[in-house]
Amino acid sequence: MIWNHVTKDLSAYVHGELTPDEARRIGEHLVGCRRCRHEYDEIRFGAEAVRELKIVSAPDSIWTDLEAALDARPDKKSWASALFPLPAFSYALAVLAIAAAIGFAIFRQQTPPATDTGWEVTRIDGAPAIGDQRIASRGRLKPGEWLTTDSSSRAQISVGQIGEVKIDPNSRVRLADASPGTHRLAIEVGRMEAFIWAPPRQFFVDTPSAVAVDLGCSYTLEVDRRGAGKLKVTLGWVAFEWKGRESFVPAGAVCLTRPDSGPGTPFFDDASTVFIDTLAEFDAARNDTEKMSALDALLPLARKRDGLTLWHLLSRTEGGARGRVYDRLTSLIPAPAGVTRRGVIDGDRGMLDSLWEPLELGDSSWWRLWKAPFPAPTARIETTTDNN
Amino acid sequence: MNEMASERLLIEACRSGDREAFRRLYELHKDRVYSIALHFSGNESSARDIVQQVFLKLFTRIGEFRSESIFSTWLHRITVNACLDEHRKQRRFISIDDQGGEEEGDENQFIESRVTIETDYSMIERSALVRRAVGRLKPKLRIAILLKYFEDLSYREMAEALGCSEGTVASRLNRGHRELAGLLEALRGDIK
């Protein structure tokens, strides 16, 4: 008997798409085949998981825009049936009108709307406030408005339809931009937890010393009264950027930011205390001597997992210092074919990308994505005293 | 009057330019089309764009619709095309080659590129994790999964909407489900 595995039919089996005879054959096979049974469990789990997705109501405003597009047509009354009997030149005009209507509709969507909608805020604990108004249960944070929590209050912000942000006590955040396709908060002080399920680069958070760019993730962000911040990523990735200084932070990693120097070098949170402290010395170094001294102490402490940190240090050093970072990195994680010490010291972007691959933190498409141009921050938040 | 006969009357009214009939036809289908568009694109703005394009195309070309055909099949096809068009448009603005190699033959390809969702999910809504995982599927797998679960289509209906064979539909769903299982490893045990 030829033993044919049944993996290719398993979704159809789960969905009841097979004839009774086919289904029986597959059922019998699954009883005796561990490999196919494992595949079946995977597919059934995937199928059950996707049932968690719920129907989302279309916003009412879509019909309004659609009507506007239809009204922009030259013959409103009988346009549908009139299209086809028309002479060729009229047909061409109609096509142009439709194209114009679609363009108009798209233009309407891409143009910032009247900014009176904002994002929904739900009270979790205590009495969070939007401006000077306390939130009893739910409120609406409009662009430009501040949400403030005191020592006993917490709130949750719905980020359009792409995610949620929880605001912890003693925090102050502002909705910086909620125009279509843009989701931007600013945090002046406090702590927030963000969970974003949209594709990368849909959600931004301005802090006084860096911009956190969501690359599809869950993370916490803390900012103190001096404007220094701490980003910790729990899922996915975040880019942390300020004035040309960039850090790319994966799940399990942390990145600090300071008002005077922007984002520091990211590190995994299970790194040793001495490694983290020495890295902080490197990031805070005011001159080459201090920098080299910190680097001397740091490099021998690096583990293989600290390749993330070493890779970032390549772009924060030059010349011989960069060569030493390269030497330590490649002693822990061999360089891929085609990557040379000389090329890395010279800043060859392709080689730096290639060095990313063996870190096993995702392929370099993440890197390319990260390097896409950042939208400019709406405004830098100056560290101020709280006016409340 | 059954649902299909009622829809047929609506379509006839649409053909004569009855705006109220358009409105009712839109109301019948808007939420499912929007849901597919939202979960496919991952953002509200693109989803709105897709829905608008779908219904503009539908209303302006309803004269081409033949009454012996099934309206929903036509609508699904327009929706699939609008989603994939929007995706192509977005790709022009994001230089990431994340959609290559989508042929059916390479069943294990996703294993290479998947990013496992892990840790600390207890604080996160389960459906939100699923939304994110679906968003990470390649477009052809994602649209197949969304059509299956939001429209509850048979493999034959899906094949018509996607313009492929039923075997290809089965293959894409197989890959989509397996990839989701891998991405949602952290939820195993929570979902029965």
pLDDT at A96: 36
* In the predicted structure, residue A229 carries a pLDDT above the cut 60: yes
Residues B77 and B14 in one domain: yes
Q: Are A105 and A65 in contact (CB under 8 A)?
A: yes
Would residue A80 count as lying in a domain? yes
Would residue B32 count as lying in a domain? yes
Encode pLDDT of B68-97 as tens digits. Answer: 667 888 899 999 999 998 888 776 544 333
Residues B84 and B120 in one domain: no
Would residue A356 count as lying in a domain? no
Residues B79 and B137 in one domain: no
First to last CA, chain A: 80
CATH number of the domain residue B157 falls in: 1.10.10.10
Residues B142 and B75 in one domain: no
Of B48, B97, B174, the CB nearest to A8: B174
Residues B123 and B80 in one domain: no
Q: Are B75 and B67 in contact (CB under 8 A)?
A: no
Chain B: give the shortest CA distance to residue A37, in Å.
13
Strands A203-206 and A183-196: parallel
Would residue A182 count as lying in a domain? no
Chain B: give the shortest CA distance to residue A356, in Å.
15
- Domain count along chain A: 2
ipTM reported for the complex, 2 dp: 0.79
Residues A46 and A65 in one domain: no
Boundary-marking domain end, from B59, B91, B123:
B91
CATH number of the domain residue B60 falls in: 1.10.1740.10
pLDDT at A254: 95
Name chain B contacts of A110, Cβ cutoff 8 Å. 45
Q: Tokens 């699904």 belong to which residue? A: B76
Residues B13 and B87 in one domain: yes
Would residue B17 count as lying in a domain? yes
Residues B85 and B124 in one domain: no
Please tell me if residue B76 touches chain A, with a CB cutoff of 8 Å: no
Interchain CB distance below 8 Å, A43 and B181: yes
Handedness of CA B33, B38, B41, B43 (dihedral sign): positive
Containing structural domain, residue B133 = 109-187
Chain A: give the shortest CA distance to residue B160, in Å.
16
Q: Is A94 left (phi over 0), alpha (psi -120 to 50) or beta?
A: alpha
Would residue B115 count as lying in a domain? yes
Per-residue pLDDT band at B43 (split at 50, 70, 90): confident
Encode pLDDT of B60-71 as tens digits. Answer: 888 777 766 678
Containing structural domain, residue A24 = 7-50
Would residue A152 count as lying in a domain? no
Please tell me if residue A53 touches chain B, with a CB cutoff of 8 Å: yes
Would residue A78 count as lying in a domain? yes
Q: Which of A154, A168, A215, A235 to mutate to test the interface with B (most CBs of B within 10 A)?
A: A235
Q: How high is the mean pLDDT of chain A?
A: 79
* In the predicted structure, residue B7 carries a pLDDT above the cut 80: no
How would DSSP label each residue in A87-104?
-HHHHHHHHHHHHHHHHH
Interchain CB distance below 8 Å, B48 and A53: no
| Residue A21 CB contacts under 8 Å (≥ 6 apart), including other chains | none
Cα radius of gyration (chain B): 18
* B141 exposure class (CB count in 10 Å sphere: 0-12, 13-18, 19+): buried
